[in-house]
Structure formats: structure tokens, C-alpha cells
Amino acid sequence: MTISPEALAAANAQARQLRALVRAPRILVMPGAYDVLTVRLFTALGFQAIQGSSGAIAATYGLYDQELLGLERTAALYRTFVEATPLPVNADGEKGFGGPERMAETVARFVAAGVAGFNLEDSDYHAPGAPMTLIPLATQVEKIHAVMAAKAALGSELFLNARVDVFGTVSDYRQGLDEAIRRGNAYAEAGADCIFIFRPPPAEGIRTLVREIQAPLSILATPESPSIPELEQLGVARVSYGAAFLRAAIAAVRQLAEAMLHDGDPAPLLRVAMPHAELQRYLSGSSA
């Protein structure tokens, strides 16, 4: 894949901006965008950077979150996100769309799309509803080394947010704490810019992770997670909420639809919906 010097320079500038935001004293809050409209809304609201949510994006196509859109289509979608905002966009790279041998193509696709960085999970492929399992640590480190080699070959500064999925495989976070720390430090040593914790533990566990992992810590927050100010006090560098925005949106759609179907009076919900004139401000007359 050929990437122009201008495109590479623009992507590198975005990567540097994202890296600086993650390393800044204040916690970086990244909302989970799933289409161009949400990207534009989050930009207008004043967020500093945008996170893409693979789960939410897949759900808009009626698909499970299992890389079902494929790398080429996913990268093309992120290109539309990048074109819709001046902010750094971090792609959800899921499991990287393959093993170590595929990382060069994955990196090239995301760099060509103009994103600032991407997430890379360490859970293995599994059927929806099946228990989560982890990729062997050595294999995941090999994948990260392959990402670093691909970046070097391109002259890319792409940001890597390495996700640790250990807490998705245990019933009590204390059973996975040592392994999460071991993996987090291994990924940081291999070159990851940030360590991203899936299903994070409560505050005392987060505090331990911040102290023991030698890299900025990010969490994928849940309703049970501490508040954003509390996370900042714990030393968390970055927080995102995954598909939460999509789930909130589809819940509102269902509520309005049920009011039409059962109550016959959707007016109270229509009155609190975004006004048509405001929605128009986030739209453009061009598909470019």
C-alpha cells in the first residue's frame, strides 16, 4: 500500500497529539463514536479526542463485535471519521485482524486512513456468548513487535493502545491482577504507548494497576466504575466507554417506538429529542 508523504505527516501529527493528551496531567475522556454524526457531535461538544467503538459500529450493521466488517471496510469507515473532525481519532483495531504476520497490513491500513492510533486486544477469537480466552502472552508480544516493525518501515508514529483482557476471564479480579500487571508491563516494554484494561476492577484494583504497570493506564469503564474525577485521582490517564453511546441511543429509539406502539402519544419524547435545526448543524451537503 502506498501512503503519500503528506498523508503520513498528517497521521503522525495526530498521533503526536494523542500521545501528548494521554501523557498530560488531566485524564483524557474519549467518547465512543460509531458514525460520522457522533464524531461531529463529540467534536462540537468539546472533547479532545475521539475513540471509535468496534462493538457499536458492528451493531449499526446488525453484527456481532467479531471483526466481521473486515480490515479494509473498517479502515475505510475510520477514514470518514478522520475527515469529519480535526481531533485525533483512535481506531478500535479489535484483535488486529489476524496474527503477527498480518500486523503490517493492519498498520498500513490504519495509517492510510489517517487515524492517530488503534486498540489491540489480547483475547482470542471466540464465538458470541462463549467464554473469553487469552492469546498466549508470547504471541501477543510478537504481535506488538510486528506493529512496531511495521511502523518503523513506514516512518509512522501510530499510537498503540494495548488492551489487557485478563479480567474478562476470571470471576474475581484478584484472581487476575498479577497476570494483568505481567501482561501490561510486557506490552509496554514491547512498545505499546498505553495499557487498556477491559472490565476494570474496583478502585483498589485500579490503584494497584496504576502503581505497578509502567505505562499510562486506560480503562474501558462500566456502570460500576468510579466516576471520571475519581479515576483521575487514582492516576488513570485515559477513560473510554465503548458502545455505551450506541446502547443509550438505541434505548431511546426503543422508548419512542414503544410509546408510539402502545401509548399512542409519543409527544413527550418528541419534545425532548434534538431539534431539527440543531441536527442540521452536524450535517453537510457533501459526501466527501
Q: CATH number of the domain at 191, please.
A: 3.20.20.60
Radius of gyration of the chain (CA): 19
Residue 23 lies in a domain: yes
Give pLDDT tens digits for 28-87: 999 999 999 999 999 999 999 999 999 999 999 999 999 999 999 999 999 999 999 999
Extract the C-alpha cell encoding 166: 485478563
Residue 260 lies in a domain: no
Domain of residue 139: give its range. Answer: 5-244
Give pLDDT tens digits for 159-210: 999 999 999 999 999 999 999 999 999 999 999 999 999 999 999 999 999 9
Residue 264 lies in a domain: no
Residue 270 lies in a domain: no
Residue 191 lies in a domain: yes
| 3-class SS string, the chain | CCCCHHHHHHHHHHHHHHHHHHHCCCCEEECEECCHHHHHHHHHHCCCCEEECHHHHHHHCCCCCCCCCCHHHHHHHHHHHHHCCCCCEEEECCCCCCCHHHHHHHHHHHHHHCCCEEEECCECCCCCCCCCCECCHHHHHHHHHHHHHHHHHHCCCCEEEEEECHHHCCCCHHHHHHHHHHHHHHHHHHCCCEEEECCCCCHHHHHHHHHHCCCCEEEECCCCCCCHHHHHHHCCCEEECCCHHHHHHHHHHHHHHHHHHHHCCCHHHHHHCCCHHHHHCCCCCCCC
Residue 187 lies in a domain: yes
Residue 288, pLDDT > 60, answer no
Q: Confidence band (pLDDT; 50, 70, 90) for 278?
A: very high
Residue 123, pLDDT > 90, answer yes
Point out which residues pair with 239 in neighbouring strands.
29, 219
pLDDT of residue 235: 98
Give pLDDT tens digits for 14-35: 999 999 999 999 999 999 999 9
Give pLDDT tens digits for 207-248: 999 999 999 999 999 999 999 999 999 999 999 999 999 999
Do 200 and 163 contact (CB within 8 A), yes or no?
no
The tally of domains found in the chain comes to 1
Share of the chain above pLDDT 70, in %: 99
Residue 63 lies in a domain: yes
Residue 128 lies in a domain: yes
